[in-house]
Amino acid sequence: AQAREGGAMARTKHSATVRTGGASPAKGRKAAGGDDAERKKRRFRPGTRAIMEIRKYQKSTDLLLRKLPFARLVRELTESYNNTGLRWQAEALLAMQEAAEDYLTRLFEDANLCAIHARRVTVMVKDIQLTRRIR
C-alpha cells in the first residue's frame, strides 16, 4: 500500500495504477470486447432451467399441445370407434383440447402430490396409477 496526502490507502492486494495520457479505458475495452457471438454462453446451475420453465408455463394460459396433431388424434379415434365419417367443428376440437389438457394437468398435479407423499421428487408410473385409482 502507498501513502497519500490525506493518509494511508485501504489495504488491497493490488497497488494503485496511475494512468498518464493515451487512449481512454472505455475505448480500449470496447474494441477488445468483440461480437456477441464470441461472448460465452450463459450456463445455468442444475435445476434452474426447469424452475424457469415451470414458472413460464404456470403463467401462460396458452394450449400446450399443438392443435393439428391433437385434431388428427381425435379424428383417428372417432374413426376407429365409428366408421360413419363424422366431421368435427373447429370449436369442438378446441373444446376437446382444452378439456384434455385440463384433465392431464390436474392428473399430473395429483401424481406429483403422490410422489411427494412417498418422499420422492420424481413422478413415476405408479404415482399416476394411484392418482387414477383414487379418482
**49 φ/ψ angles, rounded to the nearest 5 degrees:** -65, -40
Q: Are 114 and 127 in contact (CB under 8 A)?
A: yes
Whole-number pLDDT of residue 105? 96
* Beta carbons within 8 Å of 9's beta carbon, 6+ residues apart: 1, 2, 3, 16
Q: Per residue in 47-91, pLDDT tens? A: 999 999 999 999 999 999 999 999 999 999 999 998 888 999 999
Question: 42 pLDDT band (50/70/90 cuts)?
Answer: confident
Domains and CATH numbers, the chain: 64-134 (1.10.20.10)
Nearest alpha carbon to residue 88 among 68, 115, 58: 68
Residue 4: is its pLDDT beyond 80? no
